[in-house]
Amino acid sequence: MTIPTIVRPPTVPARAGWLLVVLLSSLIGMASMRYLAGGALMAPPPLKPNFLAHPLGFYVHIGAGTTALLIGPWQFLASLRRRAPGVHRVMGTIYVLACLAGGVAALLIAPGSNGGWVAASGFMTLAVLWLLTTGMAISAILDRRVADHRRWMRRSFALTLAGVTLRLYLPLAFVGAVPFATAYAAIAWICWVPNLWLADRVANARI
């Protein structure tokens, strides 16, 4: 006797959270494209010297990061994985390649970050973990360890979302009495550490 597969419907909070992520990822991703068109002219003045020092690194990082942001949220839709596994695999391949390219480019530009060694180490740690979590996700799916693959992909996308949270925090660096370099050094860490923590807290959410 064949036992029917029970498909649990998405919960309202999980779907609402996913929609928020899609909205923010889309808005930030599309807004980031202005750097591809305008280059260093579009960069805030404190970040412009690093952009000018590593233009290729920034273009690759922005292009790849934007691609990962726009594709990433859709990979967590259970209905997409179930109804169109081929589409899921193709999108996943593009996402992985974007993360790998973006992570390598980030390692190139991170040492020149405004904010000194604190900011540089924050962004370099982010880049290393981005590459590591994506690599672990690839390894898991090649070994057909689907649960592990999903776990590592959640972590990978949580780090991809640093591109969103950084831009949400960045305006705070321009207000108040705290020097930009000091605020930016803090943002280099808080843009991704809470994301990574939260990724494991929503492990059972179904969208």
Percent of the chain residues past pLDDT 90, beyond the cut: 71
Q: Calculate the alpha carbon distances from 16 to 12, 23, 60, 159, 199 in Å.
A: 6, 11, 32, 20, 16
Q: Is 10 left (phi over 0), alpha (psi -120 to 50) or beta?
A: beta
Which tokens belong to 95?
Answer: 């996402």
Q: Are 95 and 71 in contact (CB under 8 A)?
A: yes
Q: Where are the beta strands (DSSP E) in the chain?
A: none
Q: How far is the C-alpha of 56 from the C-alpha of 40, rounded, in Å? A: 11
Please give the helix or strand (H or E) that residue 201 lies within, else none: helix 193-201
The mean per-residue pLDDT over the stretch 120-140 comes to 98
**pLDDT at position 95, please?**
98
Mean pLDDT (the chain, rounded): 90
Q: Does pLDDT of 5 surpass 80?
A: no
Q: What is the pLDDT of residues 20-41, one digit of tens each?
A: 999 999 999 989 888 888 888 8
The confidence score (pLDDT) of residue 203 equals: 66
Are 141 and 149 in contact by the 8 Å Cβ rule? The answer is yes
Q: Predicted confidence band at 174 (pLDDT cuts at 50, 70, 90)?
A: confident
Mean pLDDT of the region 68-95: 94
pLDDT of residue 2: 43
Angle at Cα 60 formed by Cα 56 and Cα 64, nearest 5°?
175
- The distance of Cα 36 from the centroid of its chain, to the nearest Å, equals 18
Q: What is the mean pLDDT of residues 65-70?
A: 96
Instruction: State the DSSP string of 6-50.
Output: P-PPPPHHHHHHHHHHHHHHHHHHHHHHHHHHHGGGGS-GGGHHH
Helix, strand or coil for residue 85? Answer: helix
Taking the CA atoms of the chain, what radius of gyration do you get in angstroms?
18
Report the candidate in 101, 103, 109, 124 with the shortest Cα–Cα distance to residue 50: 109
For 38-62, the pLDDT digits (tens) are 888 888 889 999 999 999 999 999 9
Higher pLDDT: 138 or 3? It is 138
This prediction's pTM: 0.89
Q: What is the mean pLDDT of residues 129-143?
A: 97
Q: In the prediction, which pLDDT does 3 show? A: 44
Buried b (16+ CB within 10 A) or exposed e, 125-151: ebbebbbebbbbbbebbeeeeeeebbb
